[in-house]
Structure 1
Amino acid sequence: MTSPQNRAALVINAVADGSPAQRAGITTGERLVRINGRPVRDVIDYAYLAFDDHPLLDIVDPAGGYRQVRLEPEPGEPLGLAFPAPEPKRCGNQCLFCFVHQLPKGMRKPLYVKDEDYRLSFLQGTYVTLSNLKPSELRRIIEQRLSPLYISVHATEPILRERLLGREGIPPILEQLRTLAGARIQMHTQVVLCPGLNDGAALEQTVDDLAALYPAVQSLAVVPVGLTEHRTHLPALTPVDSAYAATFLEQWLPRMRRLNRRLGEAFLQLADEFFLKADHPFPALRAYGDLPQWENGVGQVPWFFKEARGLLRRAKPLPPFRATVVTGISAYGFISEFLRHLSEKTGAELRATAIPNQLFGSSVTVTGLIAGRDILAALGPGQPEGVLLVPAVMLKEGAGVFLDDLTPEQLSRELKVPVMTFEATPSGLYRTLRSLGRKQAP
């Protein structure tokens, strides 16, 4: 047979042992072109088309040879093929608050890549603005039921939204959302709040417009704009400080509660950072529903409180040793309090140390953006006494390096103290402490 004319293809990078694909002779490095005569552009097409009982696959080998393969899976058996993640579409926006534009020089190249891809929104939960969405892609979302999607709205008023995204002529977001809602596509949305721009009456309009699309729009998170000290030649923006956060919560917490009661769902959610900046008590964890905005920093602290209470009830005594947990400035208060209670319960000497952010600037206080050299600058050789515990959220997943490419091993050599990483939860910390305790036991 000759090669198929359609050049769209997925490179197969893994074939599961004993799977229908392996039994049919498919190997790593070959390309999947079609399933049942329909082109396969990406992993979404593969997942959508591969549910046939006996799918017919068009395969091209590395030498260009073409063949058709009929797979014979058992009922419910996966086909056994794996593919690389799709290469993301690049973002053409020039958002006033884009964090990538505020990065210092000299970091890893992938950190400077701006992606804007509805496929990754569906596959990985990344937020997209839909500003580059073509009509054919909108039809595809509806046809293949790509739900839920995670959408950055920022403002529903068209002119204001164009100003925020730094781009004219983009599709009206409400029209897109109404089309998706009409097709019963579920959506989670966010507003990055910029004081003096999309707050006040603009935020009220945005919340009202999105609430009108409930239940298709399942949730709306309002998160404060993040500003670094590397905004050279960028528009001036006003940060969310403690006074603004306190006033914002005074105005919006009652509105949030009224709206969520009316909808019967935790629809509107306010980022944890507002409560930390304002030193305001958090709502009960149940106010966050099933935590749909967790990755957006919404509900993480109330969840931490609940897990910490449970852990403190079951924690057991440990051999005496010293350990210091590094954290960002915003989390220092409640982390320090938790460690004090955990020390009392276990007998271990535990404390927290807050690390100022020198890489991005003092206005960035979250734990996940602390770099290795920030820790070095704050502590110095021989500090602290005992073991230094680093939450894994500071490290790149799968690579084990800080944002500045320093490794925990290098950090240990520079500080001349043992360094260990732990899952950034109360239970994850306790497991690491128990491991340390076993090493300390006679």
Structure 2
Amino acid sequence: MEGLLIDSVVTESIADELEIEAGDRLVAINGHRLRDIIDFNFFAADEELTLEVVKRDGEVWEMEVERDESEPLGLIFQAPVPAECGNKCIFCFVHQLPKGLRKPLYVKDEDYRLSFLYGNYVTLANIDASDLERIKSQRLSPLYISVHATDPLVRERMLGKTGIPPILEIIKELAGAGITMHTQVVLCPGVNDGKVLAQTVADLSSLFPAVASLAVVPVGLTMHRKGLPALQPVTKEYAAELLSQWQPEMAGLARCLGEPFLFFADEFYIKGGVAFPPLELYGDLPQIENGVGMVPVFLEEADEVVHGAKRLKQASVTVVTGESPYPYLEGFLHRLADKTGIKFTIVPIKNRLFGDTVTVTGLVSGGDILDCLKKVESGDVILIPDVMLKEGEGIFLDDLSIDDLQNALGKDVVVAESTPRGIYAAIIRFQSA
């Protein structure tokens, strides 16, 4: 059905006054038919609007609106259904998932609209001329693009697809139209590293500032790779050697371009046992959602929280985490314990769901937490980092809930924002309850 389904209407908003209701459809603004929320945002920017709404009973209403440009209409729409990915990437994490997880986790999306709206990375391997024209005409910027390699043959191998348009030509076209892009490379040892990576960095940095940043992230390999292409993991030695080679290049590019451009994911530093660069070398943190700069930000915030922490009522708190951030969390909580008097027990969870090679906190399952905590003496309260849960629902990857955990362990379970301030605030909140 055409138009945008209205999910809800903000009370006392313009839409509410016009008696628009949840379940109605907004089909056009100023004569422009609406395909998705991007069209809505684009065409609803004017002060004078003519809205065409199809009511739930099929009646068509046409309404004229005059408003200040900054005054929202008050319409909330359902999220767009993402276009599915047609690639068969040799490193695809979805292909490595075990059975029994939340159903949405098995959906592969490849949708430039979600890249613009939510910062999802897309390859643009399936994009057509009309999509490119729309991106340029509606100035859908910034976009987040998975490049992986600018060498066309290597990129085709990585995406598991032939005949795809050269990504560098697409990026140049978007750059010429004033579109800002953040890019990433999923690094697969022996595939797109070495000279291939050097060429990719050179090609993309030459298009700065339209290409605003490039993050290199390590390939994630689970134990569920039966029937998939053989790939080498990123080892401690590999990560250390890679950073040794590329850290001078990162600094040189930053000097040449006037600001940081090339970044390596935190996991490389953790795995290689290499000290993180100073936080100022991460610029305005353009790739933090991609796991770049999270630990340096955590460490700086930890200093601030410890400095301002006050003595609290005595309590014992168990904090769970993934294995990779454990040393940094332990250091923070040790200092926080000295200031607050709280006794902390930090439990790094071994990932049995995906395998030992997966050590990040965000991929820890409820079942693995439960198995691990049954073997240790838990404190008065158990703190769970919010990144382990589906946002707003309190559900782990394996569909276990916070309530399931609480009932099984017989302990209070509290969700904490995965930052030093979030942990400190969660403790105070628990003590005040």
TM-score bucket of the superposed structures, by smaller chain = over 0.9
- TM-score norm. by structure 1 comes to 0.96
Residue 286 of structure 1 corresponds to which residue in structure 2?
A: 280
Q: In 2, distance between residues paired with 1:382 and 1:415?
A: 11
Pairs within 5 Å for 1:301-340: 301-340=295-334
Q: What is the rounded CA distance, in whole Å, between the counterparts of 2:215 and 2:195 in structure 1?
A: 17
What amino acid does structure 2 have at the position aligned with 1:114? K
Distance (Å, rounded) in 2 between the aligned partners of 1:309 and 1:371? 30
Q: Indicate how the Cα distance of structure 1 residues 211 and 380 shifts in structure 2: closer, same or farther if over 3 A, else same.
A: same
Aligned letter for 1:419?
V
1:65-76 correspondence to structure 2 within 5 Å: 65-76=59-70
- Cα distance in 2, alignment partners of residues 406 and 20 from structure 1: 41
* 2:97 corresponds to which of 103, 107, 120: 103
Corresponding residue of 1:3: none
- Equivalent AA in structure 2 for residue 90 of structure 1: E
- Name the structure 1 match of 2:207: 213
SS of equivalent to 2:254: helix
Aligned pairs, number? 433
1:171 to 151, 165, 172: 165
Structure 2 residue matching 1:259: 3-state secondary structure: helix
SS at match of 1:12: strand
In the other structure, the counterpart of 2:15 is 21
Identity level (%): 55
Identify the residue that residue 378 of structure 1 maps to in structure 2: 372
Shift of 1:385: 3.3
Q: Distance in 2 between matches of 1:75 and 1:43?
A: 18
- Structure 1, unaligned runs of 5 or more: 1-6
1:196 aligns to what?
190
Query: Quick one: which of 239, 242, 245 aligns to 1:245?
Result: 239
State how far apart, in whole Å, the 1-side matches of 2:81 and 2:17 are: 29
- Per the alignment, residue 358 of structure 2 pairs with 364
Cα RMSD between the aligned structures?
1.2
Comparing 50-59 with 288-297, which one deviates more in the overlay? Answer: 50-59
Shift of 1:75: 4.7
8 Å CA contact 1:59–1:68 kept in 2: the answer is yes
Find out whether 1:53 has 2:13 as its counterpart.
no
Per-residue CA deviation, residues 173-196 of structure 1 (Å, 9 max, x unaligned), is: 001000000011000000000000
Other-structure match for 1:4: none
One-letter amino acid of the structure 2 residue matched with residue 391 of structure 1: P
CA shift for structure 1 position 24: 2.4
Long gaps (5+) in structure 2: none
Contact 1:396 1:402 in 2 (8 A): yes
2: CA distance, partners of 1:367 / 1:121:
24
2-structure distance, mates of 1:26, 1:416:
47
1:368 and 1:75 mapped to 2: Cα distance? 40
Q: CA deviation at 1:138?
A: 0.3
Q: Is the 8 A contact 1:58 1:69 kept in 2?
A: yes
Partner Cα separation in structure 2 for residue 208 and residue 382 of structure 1: 51
Give 2:75's aligned residue. 81
Q: Contact between 2:345 and 2:379, CA under 8 Å: does it hold in 1?
A: no
2:185 & 2:376 partners in 1: Cα distance? 44
Over 3 Å counting, the alpha-carbon distance change for 1:299 and 1:92 in structure 2 is: same
Q: Secondary structure at the match of 1:215?
A: coil
| Alpha-carbon distance between aligned partners in 2 of 1:334 and 1:11, rounded to the nearest angstrom | 46
Residues 38, 312 of structure 1: alpha-carbon distance in 2 compared, 3 angstrom cutoff: same
- AA aligned to 1:303 is V
SS of structure 1 residue aligned to 2:38: helix
Using the size of structure 2 for normalisation, the TM-score is: 0.98
The separation in 2 between residues aligned to 1:359 and 1:189, in whole angstroms, is 30
Q: Secondary structure at the match of 2:421?
A: helix
Per-residue Cα deviation, 1:154-204 (whole angstroms, up to 9, x for no partner) = 000001100000001111100100000001100000000000000000000
Deviations 1:217-242 (A, max 9, x none): 00000000000000010000000011
Cα deviation, 1:299-333, whole Å, max 9, x if unaligned, reads: 00000000000111110111111111101110111
Alignment of 1:216-235 (within 5 A): 216-235=210-229
**Aligned with 2:66: secondary structure?**
coil
Alpha-carbon distance in structure 2 between the residues aligned to 1:230 and 1:27: 47
Which one of 84, 105, 120 corresponds to residue 90 of structure 1? 84
- Over residues 322-357 of structure 1, what are the superposed CA-to-partner deviations in whole Å (9 max), with x where a residue is unaligned? 111101110111111111111111111113111100
Cα deviation, 1:41-92, whole Å, max 9, x if unaligned, reads: 0000000001222211122122222231111224521122121111100000
Q: Is the 8 A contact 2:51 2:64 kept in 1?
A: yes
1:108-187 pair list within 5 angstroms: 108-187=102-181
Shift of residue 381, structure 1, vs aligned partner:
6.2
CA separation of 1:196/1:382 partners in 2, compared to 1, >3 Å: closer, same or farther?
closer
- The answer to whether residue 387 in structure 2 is matched with residue 411 in structure 1 is no
Letter of the structure 2 residue corresponding to residue 386 of structure 1: D
Structure-1 separation of matches of 2:373 and 2:21 = 51
Amino acid at match of 1:72: E
Which one of the candidate residues 336, 342, 347 is aligned to 2:341? 347
SS state of the match for residue 353, structure 1? strand
Change (3 A) 1:50 1:388: same
Question: Do the aligned partners of 1:88 and 1:116 also contact (CA within 8 Å) in 2?
Answer: yes
The one-letter code matched in structure 1 to 2:85 is: C
Give me the whole-angstrom Cα distance separating, in 2, the residues matched to 1:64 and 1:106: 41
2:269 aligned with 1:275, yes or no?
Answer: yes
115-124 or 77-86, larger mean C-alpha shift: 77-86
**Structure 1: how far apart are the matches of 2:381 and 2:47?**
55
**What CA distance in whole angstroms lies between the structure 1 residues aligned with 2:56 and 2:380?**
55
The one-letter code of the counterpart of 1:214 is F
**Bigger shift: residues 405-414 or 171-180:** 405-414
Q: CA contact under 8 A between 1:21 and 1:71: conserved in structure 2?
A: no
How far apart in 1 are the matches of 2:432 and 2:173? 58
Question: How many Å separate the matches in 1 of 2:372 and 2:255?
Answer: 46
**Cα-to-partner distance string for 1:364-395 (whole Å, 9 max, x where unaligned):** 00011100110122221673233211111111
1:299 corresponds to which letter in structure 2?
Answer: G
Per the alignment, in what secondary structure is the counterpart of residue 405 of structure 1? coil
